[in-house]
Amino acid sequence: MATRFESLPLTDQRLFGVRIHGAFGRGDRQRLMDLAGRCLEKGKTHLVFDFGDLDSLGGGGAIVLADLQRQLVEQGGEAVFVAPGEVIRRFLQSKFEGLPLQLFEDLEEAEGWFAGDDVEGKSSSTPKVKKAAPIESRTITDVNDLDALLDDYEAQEVEEDDKTRRTADLMTAVYVSVDETLLAASEQDNPALLGETLSILLDSHDLAAETIFCALQGDQYLSTDGQWRVPTEGAIAKGLKRIQRPLTILDLDDGELWDEESQMLEDMQPDLILPLIRENNLSGVIFLQHGGDEHEYNLPEVFALELLQRILKGERAPVAATPPPETTAPAVTSNEAGSETLLNVKLELARGLQDAQDTPHFWQVFISRLRLGVEVSSLAYLDTADPDAEPFLAGEARRGLDGADLKCERINTFFRTLERPVEIANMPVSFQAERDVLLKRGLQWIVGLRADDSDYLGAVALGVRWRCKAGEPTDEIKELMEITGEALLRLRENQRRADMSLGLLENLLVGESHEEQAHDQVTQETAAAVRLLACELGLPPDQERDLVLGALVRNYGQHSEDVDDLAADQLTGQDWETFRAHPDLGEQRMASFNAPAGVLDAVRHHHERFDGRGFPLGLKGRDIPLVARLIAVAQTYAMHRVASGEEVAQSMVQREAGQALDPDLVEIFQKASARTEMVPNPA
């Protein structure tokens, strides 16, 4: 999350205060440098930085502040810092060597320091150093013109009783179970699979917004993308080997860290470091960023992570021995046991695939539900009917298999002719190149996927290890793929019906022809903009449909369709009260139709503002549901584009970042629209 700078009104008008929110990233360093330069340019030499809402800073930010402090001291001034967290405090102390560094618990203490009050014993600073020169009695130039440096706003406070529950954000990771993670962990030679599975597991359980897994490779632990390297003899690895439990940055001794480790921690800014122990050896290092509003892990979360660590290590809770029953069932042969196991697997597969949200989730469920009887070590699904569709790859197939190599018409024709599973090793000699590619990725079988013996849905290549034995592999795979083909056809039909319903609703609301669309161009372009955002964020089809539907019906409770949102601020009296009430009224009406939670959030909260000055509840920042924040960006763009054109629309969206709009979503939208030509305004 990008940082936000907000001017901080202080009792002593000769001081200049700045409150910084969010998590400081590499992209914020230049912004902080610009702020420091402008403070010096305006003659503001007595500064108070409030870090109470700053989640992280890092060495880069601390260096900028140390350089600013050096220049302030030269001009007889000083900067002091209020309520820095423990990690931020350590970064400041490491970079402020030889410079004044005053750290206070609250603003009153900070102002008292400049006023000459005795704050000994109240400050949480390091030992006292020479105090800043007294502020001259003259008025500093532009001292009250805080907006000359920052866009200041006063956020409207919202009583806790007035807040309704927040529904879950749209961007939710596909859920995976611990069993699926253990399956991935069993792939000793596939750290990429384990890293991805861990990331999804921790995200879906709200334990980490970002997970970076570094696997042991030679004399270092290397991340999948090669960006992060942890030396095996460095302080991080040694600390994890010694303690064998989750660590924070505070658990590491700065003096022992290698320079490359210090730089990596400053750039990455992890909230927790988790060791992956195998056979008493450190086989991996996992860096976690908590995300959300809370960046410190609480005790239950740390306990959950320690439990996960023990499970991955292979430890299990002791199981009490139970006496054998007096009578036992007749023993069954291995084939009978295998048949019963596979029957249960097929039932679980048929049930589980019904809940799939999209194609990637469908194949994740497929792998998970087979695990009891069949371990899928490698999988590739090629949707040969859609030339633009990316193949789904899992397990060993992820290591370099290029679906484009398997999309030529000749091999597609071969896939279509397959009526039964074929061993890849037995493919015709004319397909030797393709056969070798598949075998190299651990794939053993190729199957043409069908439903109702007619609808061809693509080809599936599988690498499997049987956990039980029952029947011929060809027959068993054929039965499994028949169940899978029927379920995939239902998923596609359900998605087509949902798309059709949404398309019909969109035509009814905004029209089909240019003349009809002119009646509500704003809604038409709002829908186009949220589709662009959904694509950029990688939302699955169901969530994208809810987002578009929310954009279409956002003003459902509005009495007059002629009210222009751009001119809403000009409304007065009863007209304003009526307009202000339409989100609540619209939500009530949509709730009577059992609309999805995301749609209800869109209708009720699309007039909330990021700075807390919106309505109906005055929610602030990320208390506003994500779907409403997304639609707010899209609607702002659409209103100004219809009224004044593309250039003005983009300018207004940027101007509202951090005020009416979520600055992170603005950045995402503008990057996406820069790469994508938006649909032109209807004539």
Position 155 pLDDT exceeds 50:
no
Residues 577 and 630 in one domain: yes
Total domains in the fold of the chain: 4
Q: For a pLDDT cut of 70, what percent of the chain falls above it?
A: 72
Looking at per-residue pLDDT, the higher value among 2 and 205 belongs to: 205
Report how many helices (DSSP H) and strands (DSSP E) the chain contains, helices first: 22, 16
**Residue 379 located in a structural domain:** yes
pLDDT at 179: 59
**Residue 169 located in a structural domain:** no
Residues 273 and 347 in one domain: no
pLDDT at 82: 93
How confident is residue 221, by pLDDT bands cut at 50, 70 and 90?
A: very high
pLDDT at 144: 39
Angstrom distance (rounded) from CA 17 to CA 10: 7
In DSSP notation, 293-321 reads: S--S--HHHHHHHHHHHHHHHT-------
Angstrom distance (rounded) from CA 373 to CA 468: 6
**Residue 156 located in a structural domain:** no
Domain boundary among 494, 524, 558: 494
In the chain, the amino acid numbered 257 is L
Angle at 439 between CA 437 and CA 444, to 5 degrees: 135
Angle at 248 between CA 247 and CA 253, to 5 degrees: 90
Looking at per-residue pLDDT, the higher value among 406 and 51 belongs to: 51
Q: For a pLDDT cut of 90, what percent of the chain falls above it?
A: 13
In DSSP notation, 245-298 reads: S-B-GGGS-GGGS-HHHHHHHHHH--SEEEEEEETTEEEEEEEEE--SS--S--
Angstrom distance (rounded) from CA 163 to CA 612: 12
Output the average pLDDT for the chain: 75
Range of 559's domain?
511-675
pLDDT at 102: 92
Q: What's the pLDDT tens digit per position in 56-89? A: 776 667 878 888 898 899 888 899 999 988 778 8
Residues 540 and 606 in one domain: yes
pLDDT at 234: 92
For 443-464, what is the mean pLDDT?
A: 84
Angstrom distance (rounded) from CA 667 to CA 430: 50
**Residue 173 located in a structural domain:** no
Residues 356 and 439 in one domain: yes
Q: What's the pLDDT tens digit per position in 536-577? A: 887 777 778 888 888 888 887 675 555 556 656 667 777 778
For residue 352, with 0-12 CB atoms within 10 Å meaning exposed, 13-18 middle and 19 or more buried, which class applies?
Answer: middle
In the chain, the amino acid numbered 546 is D
**Please, are residues 6 and 19 in contact by the beta-carbon 8 Å criterion?**
yes
For 632-655, what is the mean pLDDT?
A: 92
**Residue 11 located in a structural domain:** yes
Tell me the two tokens of residue 459.
């080809």
Buried b (16+ CB within 10 A) or exposed e, 193-207: bbbbbbbbbbbebeb
Residue 447, classed as helix, strand or coil, is strand
CATH number assigned to the domain comprising residue 262: 3.30.450.40
Lowest mean pLDDT segment, chosen from 304-318, 419-433, 472-486 = 304-318
**Please, are residues 656 and 608 in contact by the beta-carbon 8 Å criterion?**
no
* Nearest residue to 244 (alpha-carbon basis) of 311, 304, 309: 309
Position 214 pLDDT exceeds 90:
yes
CA-to-CA separations, 543 to 553, 589, 608, in angstroms, rounded: 15, 21, 21
**Please, are residues 105 and 83 in contact by the beta-carbon 8 Å criterion?**
yes
CA-to-CA separations, 113 to 81, 116, 436, in angstroms, rounded: 11, 5, 74
Residues 126 and 250 in one domain: no
* Nearest residue to 274 (alpha-carbon basis) of 225, 311, 323: 311
Residues 362 and 490 in one domain: yes
Residues 542 and 479 in one domain: no
Position 230 pLDDT exceeds 80:
yes
CATH number assigned to the domain comprising residue 552: 1.10.3210.10
Pairing assessment for the beta strands 16-23 and 46-50 based on DSSP bridges? parallel
**Residue 161 located in a structural domain:** no
- Contacts (Cβ under 8 Å, ≥6 apart) of 351: 369
For 427-439, what is the mean pLDDT?
A: 86
CATH number assigned to the domain comprising residue 81: 3.30.750.24
Residue 41, classed as helix, strand or coil, is helix
Angstrom distance (rounded) from CA 15 to CA 523: 47
Residues 220 and 254 in one domain: yes
The HSE-up count of residue 35 (CA atoms within 13 Å, CB side) is: 25
**Please, are residues 78 and 100 in contact by the beta-carbon 8 Å criterion?**
yes
Residues 271 and 246 in one domain: yes
Residues 530 and 663 in one domain: yes
Domain boundary among 148, 170, 202: 148
**Residue 501 located in a structural domain:** no
Residues 520 and 375 in one domain: no
Looking at per-residue pLDDT, the higher value among 147 and 158 belongs to: 147
How confident is residue 101, by pLDDT bands cut at 50, 70 and 90?
A: very high
Residues 195 and 133 in one domain: no
Looking at per-residue pLDDT, the higher value among 256 and 639 belongs to: 639
Lowest mean pLDDT segment, chosen from 218-222, 305-309, 668-672 = 305-309
pLDDT at 191: 80
Position 18 pLDDT exceeds 80:
yes
Angstrom distance (rounded) from CA 679 to CA 241: 56
Q: Which residue has the tokens 């075998």?
A: 439
- Give the phi and the psi of residue 448 in degrees, each rounded to 5: -85, 120
- Contacts (Cβ under 8 Å, ≥6 apart) of 196: 184, 224
0.85 surpassed by pTM:
no
Angstrom distance (rounded) from CA 272 to CA 274: 6
Looking at per-residue pLDDT, the higher value among 156 and 452 belongs to: 452
In DSSP notation, 84-125 reads: --HHHHHHHHHH-TTS---EESSHHHHHHHHHT---TTT--S
**Residue 680 located in a structural domain:** no
Lowest mean pLDDT segment, chosen from 173-182, 201-210, 352-361 = 173-182
- Contacts (Cβ under 8 Å, ≥6 apart) of 129: 100, 101
Angstrom distance (rounded) from CA 555 to CA 563: 10
